[in-house]
Structure 1
Amino acid sequence: MAAVGGRESPKPPDPPGEAPKPAFLKALEAVVAAGKRGLLGPAALAAAAKVPELSPRHSRSGSEEGNNPEGSQEGPGPGSLKVERKKKKKQFKAAMAMYVKGSQKEIWICGNSVVLASEKRAENNLHGLQLGIPVSKAYVYWHGRFAMKWEDLLLVLNYLYHKRCSPSILIIHLGEDDLLSNDNLSLLMSMKNDLDILRKAFPDTVIILSSLLPICSSKTLEKSEHVEKVVKDINTRMADYCNKIKVHFMSHSSITSDKTHLFSPNFSTLSDAGANLFIADVQAVLRFYKLFA
């Protein structure tokens, strides 16, 4: 299948209706219950033990599908033929759902204004929102939010998980809107804890953490030189941690604060030129996982 480009983007496949993963949902609810999103301390662990297992979403039973699975009450007339057609149609849909569940991959790109700017740019580029990846191999799903903070990540992913099928690859770009001028230890702790939760919740998913960029919407970090220093320190620490827990760390070495044309005038997000480089880095990582034709 040819890659889809330009403004046209393929419609996403219908989620196959997987059962929720109790471990992941319990972890999220525990974090919220403890009042410390991303920090699984004793309170959160205790809350996790109290959260009941969630029941899988079951498909309709045979008795619901026609209320007469054996057709013993139906004669050979049009009524029985109609019931049989409906039964076969539902069986076909179920078989297709299983096919999609087993073969269709999804790539989620989730994050803040950097993801928004890159999505907008990708929509107008040659390869489109699919980034040149054939839909037959994977569907690329963008989910960017303006000024999204790291503490929102687990709740957003929890929401997406209920709306879509589990991702084969999850790309996360967050953190710039959480930066402080003096102490970012809390952000580092949240990033490490939440990535650890996701690593355990999605054992079959490739998790990619995108490095922070020297952008900032906060007035406390107006000087680009200071922003770059803070960002570099966090990126170094997170690259080491990602290596330990087997999370792919995606760096953006070509996007630096001295190249002002790569950013918006107030350095709050990427310009079109900067988004082009960000997209190129994403494509390079996805190419490593052999998702291109």
Structure 2
Amino acid sequence: MDTAGSGAVSRGRSLRGREETERQEEISGSRTAPGRDVIRQHPEAGEEESRDVGLLTEDGSEGELSGSEASVVGGLVGGAAAEGPSSFRQPGELPCLIWILGHSFVYWGARWADMRLNGQQLGLSRDEAKICWIGIPGKQWRRVVPEVYRFASLDRPPNVLLIHAGGNDLGVWSMRELMRDIKFDWLRLREAFPGMVLLWSDIVARLSWRHARSLEKLNRARVKVNKEVGRFLVKIGGLVVRHWELESEPRLILRGDGVHLNAVGTDLWLLSLQEGVHRALRVWRRAQT
């Protein structure tokens, strides 16, 4: 079992108990969702603490950004959110709503995509789909489900949900704990949103892992998490985005910090996401007929 050491795991379990309580409260509705204009992010491992941040909208306007920036790109706030949940329309009346949710890879990926030929829409027309990028630097897996519920309360739930997260958890939680939690949360999302197409984006190799005693062991754990989580999601009807091109030579696709993707790596990562999103859209369309 790959862990960050007995001390880190002991502290992690205590923190996880408090976080699980928060998650249950948020999902049950006993915790009030934060306001629309500003979101309070919790400190995450591997990144500086995120403070109050504004929402970055598609037209480029943004609120105050401080600390580790977070962004929501694609017009998540507004529209149905202004009318409340009762205004959610039946499938087919609106373009397919696609969320790409995750940590800093999503944050930087959205900005890089904006400069590429296919743009943040990944080659899809706005008549057929609307893509929202929700990138929060430092995000750990425990925040995924609460944030899906939170953002769904601001807009309509997505028809397609692609998640790229889990990398910041390796070395913080044991491999078994992480796989257990991710599988459990996939089931929660499937139960809460039965018509939603779910996608898992593989954790990408790194040359530096926070709290890691052995780079080799952490990367082996990463491969196993990807395999087990991907297999489980496919079993319950989801899809997996593999990043084969990023596996062979991590030094060629990572920045100097050994964690974040460089320009070449981001391009390759986006191509894999684009293929996965197009595949998910086809699955969603078939389900509407």
Calculate the TM-score normalised by the size of structure 1.
Answer: 0.64
- When residues 133 and 173 of structure 1 are mapped into structure 2, their CA distance, relative to the original with a 3 A threshold, is same
- Which of residues 96, 112, 135 in structure 2 aligns to 1:144? 135
1:235 aligns with 2:218: no
1:278-293 correspondence to structure 2 within 5 Å: 278-289=269-280
Asked whether the equivalents of residues 263 and 271 of structure 1 are also in contact (C-alpha less than 8 Å), the reply is: yes
- Which of residues 246, 254, 257 in structure 2 aligns to 1:263? 254
- Which of residues 16, 20, 41 in structure 2 aligns to 1:37? 20
Match of 2:192 in 1: 201
- When residues 186 and 132 of structure 1 are mapped into structure 2, their CA distance, relative to the original with a 3 A threshold, is same
* Structure whose CA Rg is larger: 1
Match of 1:249 in 2: 240
CA distance in 2, matches of 1:177, 1:289: 25
CA distance in 1, matches of 2:128, 2:21: 33
CA distance in 1, matches of 2:172, 2:107: 25
Asked whether the equivalents of residues 242 and 248 of structure 1 are also in contact (C-alpha less than 8 Å), the reply is: yes
How far does residue 39 in structure 1 lie from its aligned partner after superposition?
Answer: 11
Give the secondary structure class of the aligned counterpart of 1:178.
coil
Asked whether the equivalents of residues 108 and 143 of structure 1 are also in contact (C-alpha less than 8 Å), the reply is: yes
Show structure 2 runs of 5+ residues with no match: 1-16, 31-82, 283-289
- When residues 174 and 217 of structure 1 are mapped into structure 2, their CA distance, relative to the original with a 3 A threshold, is farther
Show structure 1 runs of 5+ residues with no match: 1-33, 53-92
1:177-196 correspondence to structure 2 within 5 Å: 177-180=168-171, 183-196=174-187
Give the secondary structure class of the aligned counterpart of 1:176.
coil
CA distance in 1, matches of 2:209, 2:252: 20
How far does residue 272 in structure 1 lie from its aligned partner after superposition?
Answer: 1.4
CA distance in 2, matches of 1:227, 1:257: 16
CA distance in 1, matches of 2:88, 2:191: 26
Q: What code does the residue aligned with 1:276 have?
A: D
CA distance in 2, matches of 1:261, 1:149: 25
Higher relative contact order (CA 8 A, sep 6+): 1
- When residues 230 and 97 of structure 1 are mapped into structure 2, their CA distance, relative to the original with a 3 A threshold, is closer
Q: What code does the residue aligned with 1:286 have?
A: V
Match of 1:161 in 2: 152
Match of 2:72 in 1: none
- When residues 222 and 283 of structure 1 are mapped into structure 2, their CA distance, relative to the original with a 3 A threshold, is farther
How far does residue 263 in structure 1 lie from its aligned partner after superposition?
Answer: 0.9
- When residues 122 and 190 of structure 1 are mapped into structure 2, their CA distance, relative to the original with a 3 A threshold, is same
Give the secondary structure class of the aligned counterpart of 2:182.
helix
Q: What code does the residue aligned with 2:144 have?
A: L
Asked whether the equivalents of residues 177 and 217 of structure 1 are also in contact (C-alpha less than 8 Å), the reply is: no
1:117 aligns with 2:86: no
Q: What code does the residue aligned with 1:37 have?
A: E
How far does residue 281 in structure 1 lie from its aligned partner after superposition?
Answer: 0.6
CA distance in 1, matches of 2:167, 2:280: 27
Q: How many pairs are equivalent?
A: 212
Aligned identity (percent) is: 21
Asked whether the equivalents of residues 171 and 218 of structure 2 are also in contact (C-alpha less than 8 Å), the reply is: no
Asked whether the equivalents of residues 39 and 189 of structure 1 are also in contact (C-alpha less than 8 Å), the reply is: no
- When residues 51 and 272 of structure 1 are mapped into structure 2, their CA distance, relative to the original with a 3 A threshold, is closer
Asked whether the equivalents of residues 96 and 159 of structure 2 are also in contact (C-alpha less than 8 Å), the reply is: yes
Give the secondary structure class of the aligned counterpart of 1:37.
helix
CA distance in 2, matches of 1:262, 1:246: 31
